Amino acid sequence: MTSSTKTSNSKVYLTLVDQWLDTLPASESEDFREFSEVTPSIIEIWVYAGILQYPGTFNDLARWVKMKFKKLNRREILNSEIAALHADIQELRMAVTSGEIKGDNGAARLAALEKELRSHIETSERMNRTTDKRGLILAGADRVMREMTNIFKDDPQFSEPIENAMNAVWSKIYSEISNG
């Protein structure tokens, strides 16, 4: 559910995220929008938003992403393929047992389906491990960056250098985990 907010300059915002993006420099706002469009993980988008001092909630951001960008749920697609392959294997076994399909024909098709099923399961496990690893790394980086911001928030001498350093670290970490 979206609710509109009217600001003092009479601009109407449908979401808190849109209002927040309007407060950022144009280049940062555009970079964030592009990142949100191409990144499948809402967690990674949330971490990046935190680095840009997003003041809203995770749920507000998740709704905004869902409203603005169509995201494929690759895990759901893969899991449904695994379930379908498992059902196909069961049906094939029953067809071989009942004599509808000759044993040698059925055995070859069964071996091919089982090999495909194992491949899908391995892909699913690899996807889960990668997602978990990336999420943990980004959550840790986000926590460190938030703590540093809190420690030095009252010292204007350090705020800009720390912000620049955090942006550089964020870019480096994201680049490394995206390519690794």
Mean pLDDT per 10-residue interval, the chain, length 180 residues: 52 82 93 89 85 88 91 82 93 92 88 92 83 75 80 81 81 70
- The whole-number pLDDT of residue 5 equals 56
Q: Provide the token pair at 133.
A: 């690893």
Q: Please check whether residue 177 is in contact with residue 160, taking contact to mean a CB–CB distance below 8 angstroms.
A: no
pLDDT value of position 159: 78
Q: What is the largest CA-CA distance in the chain?
A: 81
Cα distance between residue 56 and residue 99, in whole Å: 62
pLDDT at 81: 93
Report pLDDT for 101.
87
**pLDDT score recorded for residue 61:** 93
The partner residues of 13 in beta bridges, in order of sequence, read: 5
DSSP characters over the chain: ----EE-TT--EESSHHHHHHHHS-HHHHHHHHHHHHH---HHHHHHHHHHTT--S-HHHHHHHHHHH-----HHHHHHHHHHHHHHHHHHHHHHHHHTSS-HHHHHHHHHHHHHHHHHHHHHHHHHHHHHHHHHHHHHHHHHHHHHHHHHHTT-HHHHHHHHHHHHHHHHHHHHHHHH-
